[in-house]
Amino acid sequence: MAEETREKDAAAREYRTTDGPDGRPGKQEPEEQGAATSEADRLRKELEEAQGNAAALKDQLLRKAAEFENYKRRTEADFLNLIKSANESLLTALIPILNDFVRSLKLGRDKKDYDAFHKGVDLIYNKLSKALEAQGLVPFESVGKPFDVEYHDALLQIPRNDVPAHTVVEEVEQGYKLNDKVIRHAKVIVSSQAETPANPENVADNMKADKE
């Protein structure tokens, strides 16, 4: 009986997790082996789920990238088309004026009536001015106004005693604004003090120094 008990104890010790004399782990008990297998299965399942999620996210990201690239191409194409057709309304309004010029020039050559030709050109000019004004392009007056670098380019400075210094006394080329933005400065002649010699060079700098 005692011998049988010793054999059972020996068999049971074979399933315990112990380190042998050589330092290697001994055998695991059946319960521990089952727990380790279950944990491995759980981790394997979680890994497979994570890999599946990663693949789905990658696919979604690639789809979004393709959609954005298509949107970018469409936007660029629409922008180029907008640029090409931006002046369509203006050019359409100018076509009748070009026709008027052609008729007026032909009439001037055929009849040699310079008064009628002048009146015709004047009418065309007014028609052209109205067409440009409808697009937001308007001239601004400069003569009699104080010199302003935001609106004027000074070509010459001449001494005058009938107007204050730094006043625009003559407009060589008219300035224009497009929707309240100056797109061409007026080229002007500006007054200086009567005793100050005229100096056509660096006029704007000279006037700035006078003001300081």
> Strand 152-159 relative to strand 186-192: parallel, antiparallel, unpaired?
parallel
Band the pLDDT of 15: cuts 50, 70, 90: very low
Residue 173: the pLDDT is 94
For the chain, give every domain's residue range.
45-79, 88-134, 139-211
As a CATH number, domain 139-211 is 2.30.22.10
Task: Note the pTM of the prediction, 2 decimals.
Answer: 0.53
Q: Which residues contact 163 (CB under 8 A, 6 or more apart)?
A: 144, 169, 191
Nearest alpha-carbon partner for 139 in 174, 94, 170, 113? 174
C-alpha distance from residue 115 to each of 105, 139, 168, 180 (Å): 13, 27, 33, 36
pLDDT tens-digit map of 159-181? 999 999 999 999 999 999 998 89
Nearest alpha-carbon partner for 94 in 120, 118, 127? 127
